[in-house]
Amino acid sequence: MRELNRLGVTGAIDAGGGFQNYPEDYAVIEKLAADGQLTIRLGYNLFTQKPKGEKDDFLRWARSSKYQQGDDYFRHNGAGEMLVFSAADFEDFREPRPDMPPEMEPELEAVVRILVQNRWPWRLHATYDETISRSLDVFERVNQDMPLDGLHWFFDHAETISERSIDRIAALGGGIAVQHRMAYQGEYFVETLRSGCGRSYAAGRAHAGERRQALRRHRCDACRVLQSVGVRSPGWSRGARSGACASTRSATASTARQRCAYGPRTSPGSPMKRARRAGSRSASSPT
């Protein structure tokens, strides 16, 4: 907290993370909050840690805790960014895009119905449009008989989101939280697309072409999203490269803590990630 305060940060959203169980692992921060020792306002989202046990977690939490319980310094902020493991796509752009398993939709629907019933907002980790569009199928289905009706929810990341999905999110009243991953992994993203994700050379070239177009579209779509929430995009207007996008950095500056679902491999401070960042910086020099 001192370090965040030193940088002028006075509030953060805790999007959960790997191996952080509720309520056991929150005892320390709850004690600090009870003693009035927090110097950061902290909103925490509940992140399930149990593949195939997600529905039970959210049922139990809905009984034991209440949305917005707490005070101005320590407050329950809803669910996510993990709702079900079968809907969480892998976010390493040096790897091919993963396909989510067929059980994704029924598992996600079961959890989303619990959240809507209890009027809990949620955030959902989703990198690729293929995952986002399938999640939207679920949200739209739930909305038909359990209207979301102004409930706040959004996708985290959404790097390759399509125009069509943005329209569907807007129609449901949802949002997108763009992170600055492309500032560090943009070059890897392009390399992986160029490689065609292990396909034949010809198929790979075609695939890379499609994805380059998607990437260009993403830049426009992201600007649109950012503009819609009142964030300027100075980096792109100065012609910044995809791997060093100033606007995505500014959009996520207020999210002091964005942790992802896969533990040490992607945790913000891991040696592997620092090394990867260092390598990426030498290529793209984001500022």
What does the binding site for Zn ion look like in residue numbers (CB under 5 A)? 125, 156, 260
Query: In the complex with Zn ion, which residue's Cβ is closer, 57 or 156?
Result: 156
Query: In the complex with Zn ion, which residue's Cβ is closer, 143 or 165?
Result: 165
Give CA separation, 21 vs 47, 48, 107, 124, 281, in Å: 8, 7, 20, 17, 34
SS3 125: strand
Rounded distance, CA 84 to CA 52, Å? 8
Tokens of 150: 């102004």
Closest CA to 128 of 192, 57, 184: 192
Query: In the complex with Zn ion, which residue's Cβ is closer, 132 or 260?
Result: 260
Q: Which one-letter amino acid corresponds to residue 124?
A: L
- Provide, rounded to whole angstroms, the least separation between the CB of residue 16 and Zn ion: 9
- Provide, rounded to whole angstroms, the least separation between the CB of residue 119 and Zn ion: 23
Give CA separation, 261 vs 28, 30, 69, 75, 224, in Å: 22, 23, 24, 21, 27
Query: In the complex with Zn ion, which residue's Cβ is closer, 240 or 260?
Result: 260
Query: In the complex with Zn ion, which residue's Cβ is closer, 125 or 168?
Result: 125
Query: In the complex with Zn ion, which residue's Cβ is closer, 60 or 94?
Result: 94
- Provide, rounded to whole angstroms, the least separation between the CB of residue 80 and Zn ion: 9
Closest CA to 251 of 185, 177, 162, 160: 177
Q: In this chain, which residue has its C-beta nearest to Zn ion?
A: 125
- Provide, rounded to whole angstroms, the least separation between the CB of residue 17 and Zn ion: 9
SS3 92: coil
- Provide, rounded to whole angstroms, the least separation between the CB of residue 260 and Zn ion: 4
- Provide, rounded to whole angstroms, the least separation between the CB of residue 5 and Zn ion: 25
Query: In the complex with Zn ion, which residue's Cβ is closer, 157 or 168?
Result: 157
Kindly report the number of other CB atoms within 10 A of residue 156's CB atom: 23
- Provide, rounded to whole angstroms, the least separation between the CB of residue 172 and Zn ion: 20
Which residues, other chains included, contact 114 with Cβ-Cβ below 8 Å and sequence gap of 6+?
55, 58, 59, 62, 120
Q: Which residues pair with 42 in a beta bridge?
A: 12, 74
